[in-house]
């Protein structure tokens, strides 16, 4: 073998190794994506893109990056990535639909309309395109109509991190429990599934001046090393229900609903699982009825209508019965989450599929003659 042949062989081997390494990164990224470890998948997709030469593969990688951002609830970056993969001629029409969804979520309704129209041309039988158009039209109308509600940022509580699912924790309505991804005691627990800190439950008190105290984490009886959140109290505020999502080796292995009984003040008894379904089925977002005999919750268990559905179970003779889906009047092909049942039987919940402004909107439902009306 002469010198020139040796050089060519070396170059070929280097290129082959490089290509093999790149493919391996992409395969690994897809594996993390499939088990919902979007934060890890995203880093690998970025690495895989750098050395990729095939245009179709590059478009696919950008689409997967957009999907990671969408699932991680980062609509701004998801919007940018969907736009990029469309510009790169990515062939999956879902890129157009999701681009429209992100534009709508980011309140860019006129641009969203154009994407929904394009999606209807590509997939005329999918109602999501038509619903997207209708929701944009309604959103534009609603924006012109002043709301009767005053929305105010509780700056004493909110941070740059996520704060959500507040619940009053006493009859005086001067204390709330809520979920947050903020740091706790200078210790950060990072969740590679969500790309956020693990959630914890915090509390804050309202003083006579109308100011909220600095939030503090509830005691270690409730707090765990995993995601804890979505508190819901019994009518006498003696029993706390909440969601815990466990993680093993950075992989989420499911969520369950737990409960604890108040021992006095902010002291809580050891938590115990509310046995709703098989341990392999994830359940969360509890809301307990006033009489304590009906528990509303969210799950993707078999028998649903879409992604996350709202379900309920009733207690008879001190034992919980079988889960019952709230049906198609409430649940859709999308996500219905965060139910809250009032003492008068009115149900509030969030949905990303019922016609709304974009993303998760709040809806109100009443029940009459066994039928829910939104």
- Look up the domain containing 41 and give its range: 3-143
Residue 298 burial by CB count (10 A; 0-12/13-18/19+): exposed, middle or buried?
buried
Where residue 73 sits, what CATH number does that domain have? 1.25.40.10
> What is the reported pLDDT for 14?
46
Same domain, 302 and 331: yes
Assign 247 to helix, strand or coil.
strand
pTM of the model: 0.87
Q: What is the mean pLDDT of residues 133-161?
A: 91
Q: What is the mean pLDDT of residues 71-90?
A: 96
> What is the reported pLDDT for 75?
96
Task: Give the phi and the psi of residue 40 in degrees, each rounded to 5.
Answer: -70, -40
Is residue 172 included in any domain, yes or no?
yes
Encode pLDDT of 291-334 as tens digits: 999 999 999 999 999 999 999 999 988 899 999 999 999 999 99
> What is the reported pLDDT for 2?
55
Asked if the model's pLDDT at residue 348 lies above 50, the reply is: yes
Tokens of 228: 């804890």
Strand partners, 248: 251
> What is the reported pLDDT for 220?
80
Is residue 272 included in any domain, yes or no?
yes
Q: What is the mean pLDDT of residues 92-104?
A: 97
> What is the reported pLDDT for 187?
62
Asked if the model's pLDDT at residue 27 lies above 90, the reply is: yes
> What is the reported pLDDT for 224?
85
Tell me the average pLDDT of the chain: 90
> What is the reported pLDDT for 1?
53
Same domain, 134 and 8: yes
Same domain, 85 and 219: no
Is residue 283 included in any domain, yes or no?
yes
Encode pLDDT of 261-285 as tens digits: 999 888 899 999 999 988 889 999 9
Reported residue count of the chain is 374
Same domain, 253 and 365: yes
Is residue 150 included in any domain, yes or no?
no
| C-alpha closest to that of 277 among 231, 311, 318, 317 | 311
% of residues, the chain, pLDDT over 70: 92
CA distance 331 to 109: 25
Q: What is the mean pLDDT of residues 204-224?
A: 91
Give the containing element (helix H, strand E) for 352.
Answer: none
Same domain, 235 and 367: yes
Asked if the model's pLDDT at residue 162 lies above 70, the reply is: yes
CA distance 23 to 365: 49
CA distance 5 to 346: 79
% of residues, the chain, pLDDT over 90: 75
Beta 361-368 vs 336-341: how paired, if at all?
A: unpaired
Same domain, 11 and 122: yes
> What is the reported pLDDT for 20?
44
**Number of compact structural domains in the chain:** 2
Is residue 156 included in any domain, yes or no?
no
């Amino acid at each position: 073998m002469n010198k020139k042949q040796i050089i060519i062989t070396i170059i070929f081997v280097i290129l082959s190794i490089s290509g093999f390494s790149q493919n391996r990164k992409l395969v690994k990224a897809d594996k993390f994506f499939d088990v919902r470890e979007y934060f890890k998948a995203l880093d690998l997709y970025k690495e895989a893109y750098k050395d990729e030469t095939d245009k179709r593969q590059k478009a696919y990688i950008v689409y997967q990056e957009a999907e990671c951002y969408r699932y991680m609830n980062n609509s701004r970056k998801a919007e940018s990535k969907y736009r990029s993969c469309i510009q790169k001629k990515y062939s999956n029409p879902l890129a157009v639909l999701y681009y429209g969804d992100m534009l709508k979520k980011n309140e860019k309704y006129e641009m969203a309309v154009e994407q929904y129209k394009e999606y209807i041309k590509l997939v005329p039988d999918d109602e999501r395109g038509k619903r997207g158009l209708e929701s944009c039209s309604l959103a534009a109308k609603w924006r012109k109509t002043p709301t009767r509600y005053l929305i105010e940022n509780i700056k004493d509580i909110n941070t740059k991190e996520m704060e959500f699912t507040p619940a009053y924790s006493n009859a005086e309505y001067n204390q709330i429990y809520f979920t947050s991804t903020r740091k706790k005691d200078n210790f950060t627990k990072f969740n590679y599934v969500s790309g956020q800190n693990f959630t914890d439950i915090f509390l804050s008190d309202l003083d006579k001046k109308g100011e909220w105290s600095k939030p503090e984490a509830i005691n270690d009886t409730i707090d765990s090393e995993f995601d804890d959140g979505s508190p819901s109290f019994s009518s006498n505020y003696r029993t706390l229900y909440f969601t815990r999502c466990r993680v093993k080796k950075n992989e989420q292995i499911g969520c369950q609903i737990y409960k604890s009984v108040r021992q006095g003040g902010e002291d809580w008894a050891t938590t115990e699982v509310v046995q709703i379904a098989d341990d392999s089925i994830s359940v969360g977002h509890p809301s307990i009825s006033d009489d304590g005999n009906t528990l509303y919750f969210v799950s993707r268990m078999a028998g649903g209508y879409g992604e996350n559905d709202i379900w309920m179970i009733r207690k008879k003779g001190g034992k919980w019965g079988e889960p019952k889906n709230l049906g198609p009047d409430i649940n859709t092909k999308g996500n219905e989450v965060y139910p809250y049942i009032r003492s008068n039987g009115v149900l509030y919940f969030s949905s990303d599929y019922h016609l709304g402004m974009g993303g998760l909107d709040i809806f109100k439902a009443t029940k009459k003659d066994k039928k829910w009306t939104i």
